[in-house]
Structure 1
Amino acid sequence: MWGHPTVEPARNFNVTEDAENLRAAMKGLGTDEDKIIEILTNRSNSQRLQIAKYFDENLERNLIEDLKSELGGNFEDVIVALCLPPDEYLCKQLHKAMEGMGTEDATLIEIICSRNNDEITQLVETYERLFDRPLVEQMCSETSGDLRRLLTLILTGVRDSSNEVDPEKARQQADELYGSGEGKFGSDESTFSRILAHENFNQLRRIFEEYKEVSGNTIEQALRHELSGEFLDALLAIVECVQSPPAYFAKRLYESMKGIGTDDNTLVRVIVSRSEIDLEDIKREFERIYDKTLSSFISQGETSGDYKHALLSLIK
């Protein structure tokens, strides 16, 4: 149903040719930004990593360091992101969201709540390797309350990985959710966390259908009525990713660009991290929801120059 990328492996890929062309684009006075964009936005991540390996082994240079020395700003962020393994890039984004004063809860929610168990396991392992500290430990020191409990459950890999659906259990769980929220005075947040963090996405989809039967309201309506703040945002992220990951990420892109100023970090992260997964689907959902193409929205926004060129090249 979903899973249409915008970036696919280049046919007739020639690592030597690409690496030598990239080196030439950065050598001497001036930089050929167009050549850098042309090569790196039209290769898969696996192919880019092969180019980086060629730089290291044959040119005795570090591709990312060379790029950083030649580029700057948001344009540099996009290009460097493309040259990192996807799990390393997301771990660096998680770390950035938690370092210094304050925490970017929205980034933690987007990355952690949208991933399946296998992806979470990979992130947990990669994070500790990169930063020599367990992801759960750092996340717990930066968040609190219901949000911390929910994210901890997800990061410890409690979600059922069977993808099987139990209709009878789904009805019982819908009743349980109703009884913990709309069906009582006050809310039992722990029930929402337990069910939404433990059940696989197929089971959750069935639970949400049953909930509508039990309550007359959608699960989103119920959550918005009963809860608030970052905990609500996290539960809604799970619900939206269960129903349609492309619609969820389309919304993240829209929010990153609407109004004054652009949340470039989110814009770059979503486009780069989804380009080989479902960015084509995200484009379609963006146009369906907002009645504008993603490309036109970026073109009319505050992005400019090589940065805009790189983003549009990834979107295709």
Structure 2
Amino acid sequence: MDPQSFKDMCWGTLGTVRPFSNFHPEQDVMEIQAALEKKDSGTLVRILTNRNNAQRQEIAKLFEEKTQKDLAAGVKKALSGDLGTLLQELLMLPVQYEAHRLQQAMAGLGTDEQALMESLCTRSGKQLQEISAAYKQLYKKELEKELKGETSGDFAKLVIALLNKENVAGVVQRDIEALSASLSGKKADVEPWINILTSRDTDHLNKVLMGLELESGQMVDDIVVKRFLGDFQLGLKILVQCIQSPDIYLAKRLTTMKTPIVQGIMVSHAEEDLLSIRVAYLKLRGTSLYTDLQKHFKGEHLQALLGICVSED
């Protein structure tokens, strides 16, 4: 797949990783070849974290032409552990990486509902269509079918609605009234929440949620916790947070400092909006993401993460 076909996802004005201005792919390939032979992780980190994804794709293509070998496979052979995984992730096309993250959330025993919701809630309908196509290409399976098999009940309905989300015109006051009415019975009706929150644009939904808070005298988060249960409550809570402020939600996820979460968010958002997430992180923690990474990671793995984070705030 052409890297440019997903450029709306892999480039944004608030990304930390920008195109390397003095880019010479032939020189990079020569250095990478030598580094792989010596298992020189420092050189691999310096180059791969200091190029944007389109440049990495160019390097990988030239590497294969020169060596008849796959660069990601070479990295996997040369480096193990979290660092090896991170550098392999950086070599994926953004759309492939998002498909990979969803597959990982469903792999093994149990499903990581938070990881699923993070991907589904922070991507547009158009992006999710492209991710679904990449998922089928990579795993020879339909993403929607896989999600249905890994989820159940009202949570499954929410997940599938998010996967197929599209912007449908709505009337703010009518949507507020529908959500309010859904809470009037002994058991809250999930359908209006799924239908409205997965089919309107963000500006519209923010007005609806603010209107509901004014009308009810409660924060929407509190309403969700009081009136819904289980996985659906978790999923709806994440969706509401991502509507109101995806940067804050992702920053909260980063505060866990768990390697899969940190790598997932940083690689996924490096060329899109990681600067905004860094600002939200600083407000939440009182310390910068750059500083906290240094407290929790070490060695070349730390240097790779700092290379993506880029600088202090």
TM over 0.5: yes
User: Does the CA contact (< 8 Å) of 1:175 and 1:214 recur in 2?
Assistant: no
Deviation, structure 1 residue 300: 1.3
Counterpart in the other structure of 1:136: 144
Distance between the aligned counterparts of 1:131 and 1:177, measured in 2?
38
User: Does the CA contact (< 8 Å) of 2:113 and 2:235 recur in 1?
Assistant: no
TM-score normalised to structure 2 length: 0.91
What does the per-residue CA deviation read over 1:29-78, in whole Å, with 9 as the maximum and x for residues that have no partner? x3221111111111000100100000111222211011011101000111
Which residue among 166, 171, 177 is the counterpart of 1:159? 166
CA RMSD of aligned residues (A): 1.6
Counterpart in the other structure of 1:125: 133
Distance between the aligned counterparts of 2:60 and 2:230, measured in 1?
42
Counterpart in the other structure of 1:70: 78
Question: Does 2:252 correspond to 1:245?
Answer: no
What does the per-residue CA deviation read over 1:59-109, in whole Å, with 9 as the maximum and x for residues that have no partner? 222110110111010001111100000111121121122233211112111
Counterpart in the other structure of 2:180: 178
Which residue among 297, 300, 309 is the counterpart of 1:306? 300
Distance between the aligned counterparts of 1:158 and 1:297, measured in 2?
35
Deviation, structure 1 residue 229: 2.7
Counterpart in the other structure of 2:5: none
What does the per-residue CA deviation read over 1:96-123, in whole Å, with 9 as the maximum and x for residues that have no partner? 2223321111211111122111111111
Distance between the aligned counterparts of 1:175 and 1:107, measured in 2?
31
Distance between the aligned counterparts of 1:217 and 1:54, measured in 2?
57
Code of the residue aligned with 2:221 in structure 1: it is E
What does the per-residue CA deviation read over 1:153-176, in whole Å, with 9 as the maximum and x for residues that have no partner? 122x24217xx7x5xx11111121
Deviation, structure 1 residue 208: 1.1
Paired residues for 1:9-20 under 5 Å? 9-20=19-30
Specify every segment of 5 or more residues in structure 2 that has no aligned partner in the other structure, as ranges: 1-11
Q: State the identity as a percent.
A: 27
Question: Does 2:57 correspond to 1:49?
Answer: yes
User: Does the CA contact (< 8 Å) of 2:136 and 2:143 recur in 1?
Assistant: yes
Q: Kindly tell me the number of residue pairs found equivalent between the two proteins.
A: 299
Code of the residue aligned with 2:148 in structure 1: it is C
What does the per-residue CA deviation read over 1:283-303, in whole Å, with 9 as the maximum and x for residues that have no partner? 1100101212112222112x2
Counterpart in the other structure of 2:227: 226
Deviation, structure 1 residue 236: 2.2
Distance between the aligned counterparts of 1:13 and 1:234, measured in 2?
43
Counterpart in the other structure of 1:101: 109
3-state SS of 1:292 partner: coil
User: Does the CA contact (< 8 Å) of 1:286 and 1:293 recur in 2?
Assistant: yes
TM-score normalised to structure 1 length: 0.90
Question: Does 2:283 correspond to 1:288?
Answer: yes
Deviation, structure 1 residue 184: 3.3
Code of the residue aligned with 1:8 in structure 2: it is R
Specify every segment of 5 or more residues in structure 1 that has no aligned partner in the other structure, as ranges: 258-262
Which residue among 243, 259, 266 is the counterpart of 1:264? 259
* Runs of 4 or more above 3 Å deviation: none
